[in-house]
Structure 1
Amino acid sequence: MNQLARVAPFRERLWEAVVAGDEYAAVAAVQDALADGIGEEAVLLEVVAPVQETIGTDWAANRISVAREHAATAINERVVAALALRPRPDGVQRAARGRVTVGCVDGEWHSFPARLVAEVLRLRGWQVDYLGAQTPTPHLIAHLHHTDPQAVLLSSSLPTRLPAAHMAITACQAVGVPVLAGGRAFGANGRYARALGADGWAPDARGVGDVLAGGLPRPTPAAVRQAADDLPHLADQEYTLVIHSKGPLVKQTLTDLEDRFPAARSYTDVQRERTAEDVAHLVDFLACALYVDDAEVFTAFLAWTADILEARGVPARSLSAGLDLLARQLHDFPRALNILNEGVHALDARPSTPTADHETTA
């Protein structure tokens, strides 16, 4: 029997347990997988991790609610804790390979991938300082001064955290600690990790273990370099001006939407708040695309958002209105206009999906 066939029944049991909110059944599923001879690393990465990914996929497709998604994730986190705390056979060598720090970029709340990495590294003999979600960079650096790890593993799922990741990478390297980046925020094949000057990148927990086993050379401590040293295009100040103008951009876009769609004037307070959040996300991802000078950051977000909207019966064409209104305000920003135009083309190229016929905002 191949590995996929071996883990499939336990993966299904875990999925059913987390969706049902049954923590005890969830822990029993992974314990039975271990009893069946499936190794701890395989249980973490081939049973628990795919179930967590399905949780996110089903939320995006509107098959489970936000509350159920949060509850299922919390149970999965306790499953990982139960695995980490299980008794070990006598004689198992701990922390034989050295010490590493694992944490999420400041502002990054999606800590589950980092937790999986931390547990896999512990299984492979590393002493791991797991710092959890959104670690402020000054506190991360203070921790490094106290512990002097062999490497820092920075995790981020949201591309909008890339500027914060860049700051953390340069700060860690300035005190002589190499940085290994991971997570979806860093793009396909880690291209943004390289652009931001990280010492390495890995696509998953096993990849992290392999990179560390090969060794990461320590950078020579030096003065913190400026962002434009890695990303010369930032000299045009478009990123800085857009991110600092976020409030006015969102406010004016909301006003213009009411002029374009009079029905928006009768929105409830909740609808107005959600609309403002949506426009703010557009600005955040536009700013991130400006930071790394890559429109794909923005167009990928638009495609994801369009799928989310249509799964909830909202026409994705409403996003185009938001892009048009932002473009009118940013007419003197050539790179921003190019990214917004790429976004419009990406939306136009999507296959048409029938949705409820009611307007919304971005």
Structure 2
Amino acid sequence: MRAAGRPGGEEQVVSEPTATAGAVQRLWQAVIGGDEHQAAATVRDALAQGVSEETLLLQVIAPVQEKVGVEWAAGRISVAQEHAATAINERVVAALAHRPGTSRPAPERGRVTVACVDGEWHALPARLVAEVLALHGWRVDYLGAQTPTPHLVAHLHLTNPDAVLLSGSMPTHLPTAHGAITACQAIGVPVLAGGRAFGPQGCYATALGADRWAADARAAAAVLAAGIPRPGASAIRHTVDDLPHLGDQEYTLVAQSRTRFVKQTLADLEDRFPAMRAYHRIQQERTAEDIAYIVEFLATALYVDDPDLFTAFLTWTDGILTARGVPARSLRAGLDALAGQLHDFPRALKMLEHGRTALTEHATRPVPGPDIHV
């Protein structure tokens, strides 16, 4: 802690926890109000009070961004407000990293690449990790959101880093992440996975063959400091080596038939839920998006063979729809309509039944779903 000036020349000692808590409140008000200048001033004031840069990144900016996702999910802020708040947080991170008159430690530990899985546009968690690793003395190549695997591999050939940190927030990108993990390891670069897409305790990172998993930026720094061995020739493997259940082709067939399933489910849903016939265009588009997500999450659950991934999404969606005034029975009707098309897919039908049970339990005993937004 350090002394902070007060009007009139008196000094006040402010503890870091107190300064941090105040900064979280002020930053939230700034980003939700769309005030970029106030957001930057909040960070500068916290630095002046002795809050470290790492604390600002992980205990001020990160929780504010998480709250942005929670408020959007609850229907209390709009999509536009969510985008604006995220953009402000991203610029605050950049301003923090490049503020005049400061210098970071020389990159003495080694070189790493930080990238988001192809298709993953939630880039702020990866950016926070990149900034923290730079503070810990790593040279960081930050590739940002939606990094195509061929371009990632090409970059690794050029830089030969000590590790790749692969970030994912949306579980539907796990099949793509699997391909990226395998491709990186095939050229001898170990993969450290992170982000909520990889499941509780990194269970999906383990299933997909990642070399390590980290729950947060500080854990990632610790894992890298301990060292990750480079993959050997045994790292070159096929998908079915990691996930033998894919041999039944259910994932492939569901993923390839996604568009047809969505269209037919929409048509069947009008018979099961007649209120849909009165929907205006925007409501129809959102319903189609919801069904598309249901099919995507079902396919991903088939890929990793975990019904809990699917049910976690369903209960989260149930909460979103309830917050927006959409009757809960519409989601169950959608599952019933989808099940009618999956009579040749026993694993998928079992997951749909698991999902129905979870929704019933969720209705009688509400529990929070996973925050897949941040």
- After TM superposition, is the score higher than 0.5? yes
**TM-score using structure 2 length:** 0.91
**TM-score using structure 1 length:** 0.94
- Say if 1:93 and 1:125, in contact at 8 Å, map to a contact too: yes
Distance 2:117 2:101 in 1: 32
What is the CA distance between 1:32 and its match in structure 2? 0.9
Amino acid paired to 1:127: R
SS at match of 2:115: strand
**Residues 209-231 of structure 1 deviation map (CA, whole Å, 9 limit, x = unaligned):** 01000000000246742111100
Structure 1 partner of 2:156: 144
Structure 1 partner of 2:302: 290
Equivalent of residue 105 in structure 1, options 101, 111, 117 = 117
Structure 1 partner of 2:316: 304
What is the CA distance between 1:274 and its match in structure 2? 1.6
Equivalent of residue 190 in structure 1, options 202, 208, 227 = 202
Percent of aligned positions with the same letter in both sequences?
67
The answer for unaligned runs of 5 or more in structure 2 is 1-13, 367-374
What is the CA distance between 1:262 and its match in structure 2? 3.2
Matching of residue 324 in structure 1 with residue 359 in structure 2:
no
Amino acid paired to 1:70: H
Distance 2:289 2:319 in 1: 17
Equivalent of residue 51 in structure 1, options 41, 45, 64 = 64
Equivalent of residue 154 in structure 1, options 166, 170, 189 = 166
What is the CA distance between 1:352 and its match in structure 2? 4.9
What is the CA distance between 1:331 and its match in structure 2? 1.1
Structure 2 partner of 1:359: none
* 1:56-135 alignment runs, 5 A limit: 56-87=69-100, 89=102, 93-135=105-147
Structure 2 partner of 1:180: 192
- Say if 2:273 and 2:333, in contact at 8 Å, map to a contact too: no
**Residues 273-305 of structure 1 deviation map (CA, whole Å, 9 limit, x = unaligned):** 221111111100000000000001100101111
What is the CA distance between 1:259 and its match in structure 2? 2.1
Q: Pick which of 218-227 and 205-214 moved more.
A: 218-227
Distance 1:166 1:306 in 2: 28
Amino acid paired to 1:109: W
What is the CA distance between 1:353 and its match in structure 2? 9.6
Distance 1:39 1:261 in 2: 54
- Provide the aligned length of Structure 1 versus Structure 2: 353
What is the CA distance between 1:234 and its match in structure 2? 0.4
**Residues 298-334 of structure 1 deviation map (CA, whole Å, 9 limit, x = unaligned):** 0010111111111111122211111111111101211
The answer for unaligned runs of 5 or more in structure 1 is 355-362
- Say if 1:310 and 1:353, in contact at 8 Å, map to a contact too: no
- Say if 1:175 and 1:221, in contact at 8 Å, map to a contact too: no
- Say if 2:182 and 2:235, in contact at 8 Å, map to a contact too: no
What is the CA distance between 1:88 and its match in structure 2? 5.1
What is the CA distance between 1:20 and its match in structure 2? 1.1
**Residues 5-48 of structure 1 deviation map (CA, whole Å, 9 limit, x = unaligned):** 33101111111111111111100111111111111101111111
Q: Is the alpha carbon distance of 1:8 and 1:309 closer, same or farther for their aligned partners in structure 2, counting shifts above 3 Å?
A: same
Structure 2 partner of 1:163: 175
Distance 1:26 1:68 in 2: 15
Distance 1:148 1:48 in 2: 31
SS at match of 1:243: helix
**Residues 35-63 of structure 1 deviation map (CA, whole Å, 9 limit, x = unaligned):** 11111101111111111111111111111
Matching of residue 313 in structure 1 with residue 321 in structure 2:
no
SS at match of 2:340: helix
Q: Is the alpha carbon distance of 1:318 and 1:20 closer, same or farther for their aligned partners in structure 2, counting shifts above 3 Å?
A: same
Equivalent of residue 20 in structure 2, options 4, 7, 10 = 7
